[in-house]
């Protein structure tokens, strides 16, 4: 079918150009593992991410005994795997991993980029650790291992909800002009996933408004979220007591990495009501300070 002359005339004003890909003239060799995280919110610890999810994995790497890990904070989430940070960029080690099927040509095939859920497996490879030989996952007994799941649920539920509410919310204007902002990253959308029971939707005229802006379409009772948060922090402080690690473990566990991430982010919160619940509990502050030094020592700025 021939294109009508009128359309041909119109299309002639918009020629299609195809440009060759721009290839890097040289590859910069990656010598050390590099973690991509959200930027820090603490001027005293610029290498520690201000995002609790990123910081959790930084703490995990450090408490597993790894060191000299480089940190990049200049990677946008859209450049990460599944648009989620952190990512771990590591040199490809054919001796410890299956060889890649074939070279990718001009693309750098000497490194691997790992999503967060692949980090534990990579760490086990580096340390020569077999997870099947440690069914307790570092906890002192089966009871402590089962209890750790309850604490993880508490931290990722009640504590995380309060941390989300304490974060400043961008104005409607900023959200409207920022085309890269997705409603799936909205604080209230996240709250609807972790609160039990889920918050009810708005009704009436406000409900119609919520159709255009889903991030404002839930009825959040901040007092209820705060009450649960206060109880959770009190229980966390009481359970830690004077122990070196949570649940009386002899060495750090993933629960300690998670607890540190939340305590550190809470202490940097701009909401005094959220922050005070931790600062008035001396054992939590002292524990966070000690672990912060250990975590900070494991990272260096990417060159």
275: in domain: yes
- Write the CATH number for 296: 1.20.1050.10
286: in domain: yes
Report yes or no: 187 and 164 within 8 Å, Cβ to Cβ: yes
21: in domain: no
72: in domain: yes
Q: What is the mean pLDDT of the chain?
A: 83
Question: Average pLDDT for residues 74-92, to the nearest whole number?
Answer: 92
DSSP at 131: G
294: in domain: yes
- Higher pLDDT among residues 45 and 35, named by residue: 35
DSSP at 99: P
Most confident option among 161-170, 211-220, 251-260: 251-260
Q: What SS3 class is residue 296?
A: helix
Place of tokens 């509410």: 165
8: in domain: no
Distance CA 128, CA 266 (A): 35
DSSP at 96: T
pLDDT tens digit sequence for 106-149: 445 678 999 999 999 999 999 998 888 889 999 999 999 999 99
Distances (CA, A) of 18 to 15, 21, 24: 10, 9, 19
Report yes or no: 302 and 71 within 8 Å, Cβ to Cβ: yes
The whole domain housing 83 covers 34-91+109-165+220-301
What pTM did the predictor assign?
Answer: 0.80
In this prediction, residue 198 has a pLDDT band, given cuts at 50, 70 and 90, of: low
Q: What SS3 class is residue 32?
A: coil
CA atoms 50, 57, 97, 126: torsion sign: positive
**Looking at the predicted structure, is the pLDDT value of residue 264 above 60?**
yes
**pLDDT of res. 165:** 87
246: in domain: yes
Place of tokens 């490809």: 92
DSSP at 157: I
- Total domains in the chain come to 1
Closest by Cα among 256, 259, 195, 265 to 52: 265
Query: What residues contact 207, with CB distance under 8 A and at least 6 apart?
Result: 201, 217
206: in domain: no
Distance CA 37, CA 196 (A): 29
The two three-digit tokens of residue 127, written as one number: 């340390």
Report yes or no: 71 and 301 within 8 Å, Cβ to Cβ: yes
Distance CA 137, CA 259 (A): 16
Collect contacts of 37-42 with beta carbons under 8 A, ≥24 apart: 37/71, 37/72, 37/73, 37/85, 37/86, 38/73, 38/77, 38/85, 38/86, 39/73, 40/73, 41/268, 42/264, 42/268
In this prediction, residue 30 has a pLDDT band, given cuts at 50, 70 and 90, of: confident
Closest by Cα among 266, 269, 249, 264 to 295: 264
């Amino acid at each position: 079918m021939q294109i009508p002359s009128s359309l041909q005339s119109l299309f002639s004003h918009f020629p299609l150009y195809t440009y060759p890909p721009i290839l890097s003239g040289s590859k910069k060799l990656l010598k050390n593992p590099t973690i991509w995280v959200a930027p820090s919110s603490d001027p005293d610890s610029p290498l520690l991410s201000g995002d609790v999810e990123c910081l959790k994995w930084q703490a995990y790497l450090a408490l597993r005994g790894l060191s000299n890990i480089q940190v990049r904070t200049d990677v946008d989430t859209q450049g990460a795997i599944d648009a989620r940070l952190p990512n771990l960029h590591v040199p490809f080690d054919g001796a410890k991993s299956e060889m890649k099927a074939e070279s990718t040509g001009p693309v750098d095939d000497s490194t691997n980029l790992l999503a967060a859920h692949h980090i534990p497996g990579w760490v086990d490879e580096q340390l020569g650790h077999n997870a099947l030989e440690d069914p307790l996952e570092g906890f002192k007994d089966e009871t402590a291992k089962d209890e750790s799941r309850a604490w993880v649920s508490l931290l990722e539920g009640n504590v995380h909800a309060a941390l989300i509410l304490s974060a400043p919310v961008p104005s409607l204007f900023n959200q409207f002009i920022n085309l890269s902002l997705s409603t799936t990253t909205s604080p209230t959308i996240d709250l609807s996933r972790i609160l039990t029971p889920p918050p009810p939707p708005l009704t009436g005229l406000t409900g119609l408004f919520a159709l255009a802006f889903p991030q404002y379409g839930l009825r959040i009772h901040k007092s209820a979220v705060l009450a649960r948060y206060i109880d959770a922090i009190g229980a966390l402080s009481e359970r830690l007591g004077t122990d070196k690690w949570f649940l009386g473990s002899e060495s750090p566990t993933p629960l300690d990495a998670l607890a540190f991430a939340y305590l550190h982010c809470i202490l940097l919160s701009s909401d005094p009501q959220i922050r005070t619940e931790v600062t008035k509990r001396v054992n939590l502050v002292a524990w966070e300070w000690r672990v912060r030094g250990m975590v900070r020592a494991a990272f260096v700025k990417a060159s």
